[in-house]
Structure 1
Amino acid sequence: MDDKKEDDKIKKMAEMLKQGYTMTSDICPSCNSPLFLKNDLLFCPSCNKQVIKISDEREAISIIQESILSKLNEVINNKIEDLTQVIEKEKDIDNLNSYLRLLIAYLESIERIKRISRSGVDKD
């Protein structure tokens, strides 16, 4: 069973080389397989994931923060889409008022996320 997995990894690596990837001297922090580079992106064929090389703790924190803010922005945008559909169908004025207040809160949150993202970029 392990030989089959090893063969599959080697085949994947060979395929990546054919696709123009370059094998690097870096190894994956998760599985210790060699990392491959293409278009300035590192990729682990064994984990089947992109790998981000971090030089120090501040950079790691910055990348994590950026990822969290991006995910939060995506969630809020999805909520806005859902709420827009509800607002379209709503007839009750009181409910509309509540929904619009919620929409404003979502929009303000997105603006704050943008501000935080910009300030994080400006610090470096």
Structure 2
Amino acid sequence: MTGANSRRFGLSTRGSYRPAQPRPDNERPDAFKAAYEHLVQAASRLIDSERVRADEDPELIADQLWSCVHGFVTLELAGHFAHVSDPVHERLQALTVCVFVGHGDTLERAVASHDSVRCR
């Protein structure tokens, strides 16, 4: 759901959704820190639930998921998926399933998890 919410935000605020730019002072804005911490906590819950390997780094998982969703929304805003009838389910979910399986989830559980969100 975190990825879906990020996508909704990006699509609804097209003018403010842009590539992350480095700041001269290397300081991250508070909103970025809060969003990132939320994602790290979600990754920690994945590890605790044994959906992914116990030796995984929550920050690594968070970085990969953030990159997936940010890249996807950037491409979607640019019209790259205009020919796809359901880009979230036909492209983004396939990508995130691969990330979760790479971290130790099973293909069946990852797909079932996405399907359960799709039905909501």
TM-score where L is the length of structure 2:
0.28
TM-score where L is the length of structure 1:
0.27
Greater relative CO (CA pairs within 8 A, separation 6+): 2
- Highest Rg: 1 or 2? 1
